[in-house]
Amino acid sequence: MKLPYLRLVTLLSFFLFLEMKSNLKATEIDSFYKLKTQTLEGEPINLSEFAGKVALVVNVASRCGFTGQYNDLQSLHEEFSPRGFTVLAFPSNEFGGQEPGTPEQIREFCTTKFNVTF
């Protein structure tokens, strides 16, 4: 996927989020930030740490036809993170077994093949 196209999709997604946000109650919006998860390294993290930032939440898999998206996501991260943007990528093996690796294997794959830092 070309970066300008990904930017357009991201921008449209952001505007869709803003439109949805205007129709949601404050409690519905806040519920995202009440969620807790784990980093790839297994450390607990509260999504409240991302309140006030624009967060792109993506499902990723290293054996997916869209694996090249890591390049585009990293470019977005590098360009916009100084302005409060963050990429929250969640590896998933639930869709056709496309992410069968351990957290260590996933981290190794993402950093060596795509120089991912998010």
Copy the structure tokens of residue 107: 């981290």
Residue 110 bears catalytic tag: no
Beta bridge partners of 37: 45
Helices and strands: H and E segment counts in the chain: 4, 4
Closest CA to 55 of 14, 115, 1, 2: 14
Copy the structure tokens of residue 19: 């439109």
Strand ranges, E, within the chain: 36-38, 44-46, 54-60, 85-91
> Which residue type is seen at 92?
S
Q: Among the options 40, 47, 58, 64, which is catalytic?
A: 64
> Which residue type is seen at 73?
L
Length of the chain: 118
Q: Any idea which residues carry the catalytic annotation?
A: 64
